[in-house]
Amino acid sequence: MLSAVDVLAQDSGGGSNLIFLIMIVGFIALMYFVMIRPQRKRQREQQDMQTKVGSGARVMTIGGLYGTVVDSDDETVTLEASDDVFLVFARQAIAKVVSGAEEEAPAEEESAPLSEEEATLTDEDLEKLRSTDDGGDDQHSGKSDRKEY
């Protein structure tokens, strides 16, 4: 004949197994959302970037070589590393696109030399610089916080 203590002992054992099972399933779900899903997203973005890279794009390979794409097909990309130096890489060897062909034109305009008038500071500019040097809260006080050893 079963006593009340035996019945309670059997019920509590089954409940702990259910809680353990729920914890394991929760842990697996957490691992999926924290590790696996973001990694797959990065892989998908990397593959999209590698398939969409075209002529004129400045790229970096997984080996750290910078070059400009001059030709490409389904499996390979031809890079110009310097003048008349062409290297053929697998598409998967492209780590990132540094800049595209359409982004290079504005960069050239910014590097144009300044005229003498543009490069000269006016008295108003000098006063602004002096006022920020004297009363700026975010400026360094001149006292060294570093310890010399």
- Give 121-131 pLDDT, tens digit per residue: 777 777 777 77
pLDDT category, 101, cuts 50, 70, 90? low
- If you search the block for the tokens 């353990």, which residue do you land on? 20
pLDDT category, 11, cuts 50, 70, 90? low
pLDDT, greater one: 123 or 60: 60
Q: How many residues does the chain have?
A: 149
Phi, psi of 70 (to 5 degrees): -110, -25
Q: What six digits make up the tokens of 131? A: 């006022």
* pTM exceeds cut of 0.85: no
Report whether pLDDT(114) > 50.
yes
